[in-house]
Amino acid sequence: MKYLKSILVVTMFIMVLLLMTNCDDNDSNNNKAETARVQLKLVDEPGDYEEVNIEIVDIQYKSNEDEENWESFIPEGGYPINVDITELIAGNSLLLTDDVLPVGILKQVRLVLSDNNTLKIEGQDELIPLDTPSTQQSGLKLNLDEELKTGFVYSFILDWNVQKSIVKAGNSGKYILKPVIKVNAEVSSGSINGKIIEIIEKVETPIANQVVEVYTTEDALVKDTLTDESGDFVLQGLEAGTYILKINKETYKAYVSSEVNVEVGATESVGTIILESEEL
């Protein structure tokens, strides 16, 4: 009889342990099921500068209207994040952060900048300090208002327009940094890529640092980018629709593409574009 009681006690103890383990597993699974992954990618629209060096000391987000309720993303390499945004062309992007967040409405993110930002003008060797207003140091706010759903990955493209972001302060020689950034979600946008070359003595030669512009069918400029050393370019963060590419290069015939259809989540290739000399 005592032997049976001992078996019964041991059996009940094992059942309790299994029940506790299952509860822990269920809690863990529930916690995992209530999160989404958020990525922030920084890209650049070109400007007339050789370098634009930016130092980001914090990237924050909030999920409600409470102005004080900001949480920090934790980038893999930590802070500060130093980047020359003029290098973010031709499909190059900087992954600022890749974090798991609770599901719900992601209302805003903000980039907190230091005052250690500089500018280099083409043809000059020295770096020029970029005056950064205190409002920018306290955080450049970007509105998202995106609903994060369980298990999804959300990639947001932060398209930094460097030309509009730098203001020359009269004849003082000073430059002021006032970032202009447009946010697009990759889940609701597409891309166009291609390559630009010229033929020199029957040899295909890539054209680097060439401006490529994309327009709506109503001839409204949407954005532009630069080719890299291989002549490649990528225009990211485009809303679904129909676009036209335009390329203008001195002493070359102007190039205007046929209509290019962009779909959400897809990259449309226009292939290799050959620029022809006006002398031909």
Residue pLDDT, tens place only, 11-39? 555 554 455 545 444 444 444 448 888 99
Predicted TM-score (pTM) of this structure? 0.67
Question: Which pLDDT score, from 0 to 100, does residue 187 have?
Answer: 66
Nearest to 164 by CA among 83, 65, 48: 48
The token pair that represents 64 in the structure block: 């409600």
Pairing of strands 94-102, 128-131: unpaired
| C-alpha closest to that of 237 among 247, 215, 222, 217 | 222
Comparing 118 with 100, which gets the higher pLDDT? 118
- As given in the structure block, the two tokens for residue 207 are 């054209």
- Give the model confidence (pLDDT) of 184-209 as tens digits: 887 667 889 999 999 988 899 999 99
SS3 state at 190: strand
Per residue in 212-232, pLDDT (tens digit) is 999 999 999 988 888 989 999
With tokens 């299994």, the residue in question is 18
Q: In the prediction, which pLDDT does 4 show?
A: 45
pLDDT of 143-181, one tens digit each? 888 888 877 778 899 989 888 899 988 888 889 998 889
Instruction: Supply the pLDDT for residue 214.
Output: 94
Whether 280 has a pLDDT exceeding 80, the answer reads: no
Q: Is the pLDDT of residue 3 over 60?
A: no
Q: How far apart are CA 280 and CA 277, in angstroms?
A: 6
